Amino acid sequence: MSDTATTPAGLRGLSPPGLLFAVLGAVSLLLPFMTLRANRIVAGEGLPAWQIAEPGITLPGLTVLALGLALGLPASRPALRLGGALLALAALIFLLTNGATALMQDAGDYARVSPASGFWCLLAVTLLLAADALAQMRPGPALRAVLLAGALGALWATLASGLLSELSIGIEYASRASGFARATVRHLWLSLGSLAVAAAIGFPLGIACHRVPAMRAATLATLSFVQTIPSLAMFGIMIPLLGALVTALPALQAMGIAGIGFAPAFVALVLYSLLPVVANTVAGLDAAPKPAIEAARGMGLTPMQRLWQVELPLGLPVLLAGVRIVLVQNIGLAVIAGLIGGGGYGTFVFQGLNQTATDLILLGALPTVLLAMVAAITMDILVDLSRRTPEHAR
Amino acid sequence: MIEIDRLTRLYDGKPACDAVSMTIETGTITAIVGTSGSGKTTLLRMINRLVEPSSGEVRINGTPTHSEKPHLLRRRIGYAIQGHGLFPHHTVGRNIGAVPRLLGWPKDRIAARVDELLTLFSMDPSEFRDRFPAELSGGQQQRVGVARALASRPDLLLMDEPFGALDPIIRTRAQDDLRQIQRHLGSTILIVTHDMDEAIRLADRIAVMDAGKLVQYGTPAEIIAHPATPFVAEMVGEADRPLRLLALLQVSELAESGPADGPEIAPDATLRDALSACLWSGRESLPVRGTTQRVTLEAIRSRAGAHA
């Protein structure tokens, strides 16, 4: 009813987000699609999508791209819209790889080609369209896991095929392959390890805050304060503190702990993680209906039985939502570790910033974003699975 | 037998429940009636030690309740509350089997008990056993809540406004069911309510509480006919007293031989229903179903006035 009231007659049956994506896509085509530069540092020349290669390539590529975005329009056909998004995505990759080959052909040895703003906008529009269509289809946790695995598989296949190796970012990667692998491992250690430590401290602390109301206000206020310290300032505090600690306890030095490097970054991430973990633990335990808790006491459950059988199972989705926040936050924050020699993808970001090499920055930033997205989707699936009552009984 | 002996609970030095003593016979329903803040819920919660008494003690079949760990005591005492308190993430069967599971009953015995109780509460076990509380109606949830409280055959069942969240029609049916099941099982029940009608309909004995004190403890007929204080009289409702008295008595008690015309009335209907039928149909007497007897308006009138 509201559709007919608010949508002009000619647009009925069209998905409003789909329409927005199509318009944004069309506008993005006017932006430079790729950049050609004489070497990795100098500013380059932006080329619109129809100039990156001969028409034999750009014409079919752009046609399929437009078709894909157009398929995103019908509001009532989510599967078709998803198909359109995938088609548009394939067209973008096709244009990018063939454009790179064509542009590199007569450029010099040091020349670099990179995706430009037009490509990034179109990529974002396409991914948003896919996400919107998927949200409309409401896939269950199992199907979402399959889709995630499929998307990662497709991404891996694209990277492994070497199609992107002619791009500047591919060249940056090729010269740093082993460093990239080390950075990946280190980034995962920083984000997952700090999460594990924060959970080991935060869950018991949250349970204690739930049981002892007097503790709650003070603890949450302290952790909120920690959360407001900017990450750079946090490192600034950490360096002398850890330095003093290591001087006092030389055994720590033998373990590789120092004022800069991995240790302060790790400790800072743990500190930032505590508030979401503790706050969500308290909120999750509070979420159990009061009469159910009262009945559990009245029936003779011990406090531990109440915690394990009633409060934790009912609060688990909220607890896991806290873990999700921390995981995504830490994957992003771990980049800062690169600044103080903590390793991880941040190494590339800060090297790139120092050398004004945009593609080196991207080599650090893109995997970080990807990692955060995969973590978010995986945690959402786990949160859904952790709801103990079936959907029809909520 | 439950003996409550000068049970007192102080909050900030003020008594919420002030030296209450009463004895509850095994196999009866006792209602604790009072306004909010009268201390009735505090009294109930001191019996299973959800609230620890400041002084005094409770003895169940001679054993003081403080001689046992609170959670072990509570497993022997059924507890049903307003808003049922079912575990939303457990099925009906698992909810009902909660206390037997705590007591370590074998699985097949728990399953048999769950089915037995569901049948007793007129809920088909095969249909309801595996459902979740949110899939039930309010009345069904409340029945499962009471079934859960009865699951381990407790010595005593405590109920705190168990029907408070139900609409009036479902509530009346739930009260009738409870009365029937209590007779069938012979349970001892202590029920807290602010609703004098509910107390009169359900209870063998009524305890009226006011400002933490037990002001009267007696049968419904005694409470209605001889309220001990103006507060009790107010709770009973001055104008409704004769009708409430009649509601306690059955037609069969006043049945006498003689002719009567028109529709029959059941012998186990209340005299209040009989009076209503007389007034509504303009008759002086009603024939009693299944007999050649009748009940007359005259007899009802004199019975209503016979309290003094």
Question: Quick one: B219 and B258 in the same domain?
Answer: no
Domain boundary among B185, B212, B237: B237
Give CA–CA dist A343/A325, Å, rounded: 22
B89: which chain A residues are within 8 Å (Cβ-Cβ)? 313-314, 388-389
Closest residue of chain B to A314, computed from CA coordinates: B89
Give CA–CA dist B224/A203, Å, rounded: 57
B102: which chain A residues are within 8 Å (Cβ-Cβ)? 299-301, 305
Please judge whether A292 and B79 are an interchain contact, meaning their C-beta atoms are less than 8 angstroms apart: no
A302: which chain B residues are within 8 Å (Cβ-Cβ)? 71
Question: Residue A336 belongs to what domain range?
Answer: 177-393
Q: Collapsing DSSP states into helix, strand and coil, what is residue A33?
A: coil
B71: which chain A residues are within 8 Å (Cβ-Cβ)? 300-302
The sheet that has B256-257: what strands, in order across it?
B256-257, B293-296, B285-287
Question: Quick one: A137 and A233 in the same domain?
Answer: no
In Å, how far is B8's CA from the nearest CA of chain A? 20
B59 within some domain: yes
Among B173, B55, B168, B187, which residue's Cα sits nearest to residue B117? B187
Question: Quick one: A106 and A184 in the same domain?
Answer: no
Answer whether A313 touches B (CB < 8 Å): yes
Question: Quick one: A8 and A70 in the same domain?
Answer: yes
B75: which chain A residues are within 8 Å (Cβ-Cβ)? 299-300
Question: Residue B19 belongs to what domain range?
Answer: 2-237
Closest residue of chain A to B70, computed from CA coordinates: A300
Question: Quick one: A166 and A181 in the same domain?
Answer: no
B192 within some domain: yes
Please judge whether B50 and A297 are an interchain contact, meaning their C-beta atoms are less than 8 angstroms apart: yes
Rounded to 5°, the CA angle B119-B182-B203 comes to: 140
Question: Quick one: A123 and A199 in the same domain?
Answer: no
- pLDDT tens for each residue of chain A, 394 residues long: 444 445 555 567 888 889 999 999 999 999 999 998 888 778 888 899 888 888 888 999 999 999 999 998 988 888 999 999 999 999 999 999 999 888 888 787 788 888 999 999 999 999 999 999 998 888 888 899 999 999 999 999 988 888 888 888 888 888 888 999 999 999 999 999 999 999 999 999 999 999 888 899 899 999 999 989 988 888 888 888 888 888 888 888 877 777 778 888 899 999 999 999 999 999 999 988 889 999 999 999 999 999 999 999 989 989 999 999 999 999 999 998 888 888 899 999 999 999 888 889 999 999 999 999 999 999 999 988 888 666 555 5
Question: Quick one: A128 and A230 in the same domain?
Answer: no
Give residue A389's pLDDT: 64
CATH number at residue A282: 1.10.3720.10
Question: Quick one: B46 and B150 in the same domain?
Answer: yes
Answer whether B73 touches A (CB < 8 Å): yes
Closest residue of chain B to A289, computed from CA coordinates: B85
Give CA–CA dist A233/A340, Å, rounded: 12
To test the contact with chain A by mutation, choose from B51, B82, B89 the residue with the greatest count of A C-beta atoms within 10 A, namely B89
DSSP A240-295: HHHHHHHHH-HHHHHTT--SSSHHHHHHHHHHHHHHHHHHHHHHHHHTS-HHHHHH
Give how many domains chain B has, as a whole number.
2
Looking at the predicted complex, does its ipTM rise above 0.90?
Answer: no
Question: Quick one: B224 and B292 in the same domain?
Answer: no
| Closest by Cβ to A292, choosing from B50, B79, B88 | B88
B243 within some domain: no
Give CA–CA dist B22/B59, Å, rounded: 11
Among A305, A309, A314, A308, which residue's Cα sits nearest to residue A285? A314
- Beta strands A45-47 and A112-115, pairing class: unpaired
Neighbour-count burial of A63, counting CB atoms closer than 10 A to its CB (0-12 exposed, 13-18 middle, 19+ buried): exposed
B244 within some domain: no
Region at A40 (left for phi over 0; alpha for psi -120 to 50; beta for the rest):
alpha
Please judge whether A295 and B86 are an interchain contact, meaning their C-beta atoms are less than 8 angstroms apart: yes
Please judge whether A389 and B134 are an interchain contact, meaning their C-beta atoms are less than 8 angstroms apart: yes
Domain boundary among A115, A140, A170: A170
* Main-chain phi, psi angles of B121, to 5 degrees: -95, 25
Question: Quick one: B27 and B139 in the same domain?
Answer: yes
Answer whether B137 touches A (CB < 8 Å): no
Do residues B296 and B284 lie in contact, with contact meaning Cβ atoms separated by under 8 Å?
Answer: yes
CATH number at residue B73: 3.40.50.300
Give CA–CA dist B84/B101, Å, rounded: 19
A289: which chain B residues are within 8 Å (Cβ-Cβ)? 85, 88
Question: Quick one: A184 and A275 in the same domain?
Answer: yes
Question: Quick one: B9 and B63 in the same domain?
Answer: yes
Question: Quick one: B132 and B272 in the same domain?
Answer: no
Question: Quick one: B10 and B139 in the same domain?
Answer: yes
Please judge whether A389 and B132 are an interchain contact, meaning their C-beta atoms are less than 8 angstroms apart: yes
Closest residue of chain A to B148, computed from CA coordinates: A299
Closest residue of chain A to B87, computed from CA coordinates: A292
Give how many domains chain A has, as a whole number.
2
Question: Quick one: A126 and A198 in the same domain?
Answer: no
Which residues numbered 283-302 in A keep a CB inside 8 Å of some CB on B?
289, 291-292, 294-302
To test the contact with chain B by mutation, choose from A285, A294, A297, A299 the residue with the greatest count of B C-beta atoms within 10 A, namely A299
B262 within some domain: yes
Give CA–CA dist A154/A133, Å, rounded: 19
Question: Quick one: A274 and A328 in the same domain?
Answer: yes
Read off the tokens for B300: 């009802």
Please judge whether B88 and A289 are an interchain contact, meaning their C-beta atoms are less than 8 angstroms apart: yes
Please judge whether B145 and A392 are an interchain contact, meaning their C-beta atoms are less than 8 angstroms apart: no
Question: Quick one: B169 and B42 in the same domain?
Answer: yes
Please judge whether B102 and A300 are an interchain contact, meaning their C-beta atoms are less than 8 angstroms apart: yes
Q: Buried (b) or exposed (e) across B149-166, using 16+ Cβ within 10 A?
A: bbbbebbbbbbbbbbbbb
B224 within some domain: yes
Q: Buried (b) or exposed (e) across A286-307, using 16+ Cβ within 10 A?
A: eebbebbbbbbbbbbbbeeebb
Question: Quick one: A110 and A198 in the same domain?
Answer: no
Give residue B238's pLDDT: 76
Q: Buried (b) or exposed (e) across A5-25, using 16+ Cβ within 10 A?
A: eeeeeeeeebbebbeebbebb
Question: Quick one: A60 and A118 in the same domain?
Answer: yes
CATH number at residue B297: 3.90.1280
Answer whether B151 touches A (CB < 8 Å): no
Domain boundary among B237, B268, B290: B237
Domain boundary among A170, A186, A209: A170
Which residues numbered 154-173 in B keep a CB inside 8 Å of some CB on A?
158
A305: which chain B residues are within 8 Å (Cβ-Cβ)? 102
Question: Which residue ranges in chain B fall short of pLDDT 50?
Answer: none
Question: Quick one: B34 and B101 in the same domain?
Answer: yes
In Å, how far is B204's CA from the nearest CA of chain A? 25
Give residue A263's pLDDT: 87
Question: Quick one: B233 and B265 in the same domain?
Answer: no
Give residue B22's pLDDT: 94
B75 within some domain: yes
Rounded to 5°, the CA angle B33-B38-B42 comes to: 90
Question: Quick one: B145 and B219 in the same domain?
Answer: yes
Answer whether A314 touches B (CB < 8 Å): yes
Give CA–CA dist A363/A169, Å, rounded: 6
B72: which chain A residues are within 8 Å (Cβ-Cβ)? 300
Domain boundary among A137, A170, A203: A170
Under DSSP, the state recorded for B30 is E
Domain boundary among B237, B260, B292: B237
Q: What is the pTM of this model?
A: 0.79
Read off the tokens for A108: 């010099």
Question: Quick one: A162 and A292 in the same domain?
Answer: no
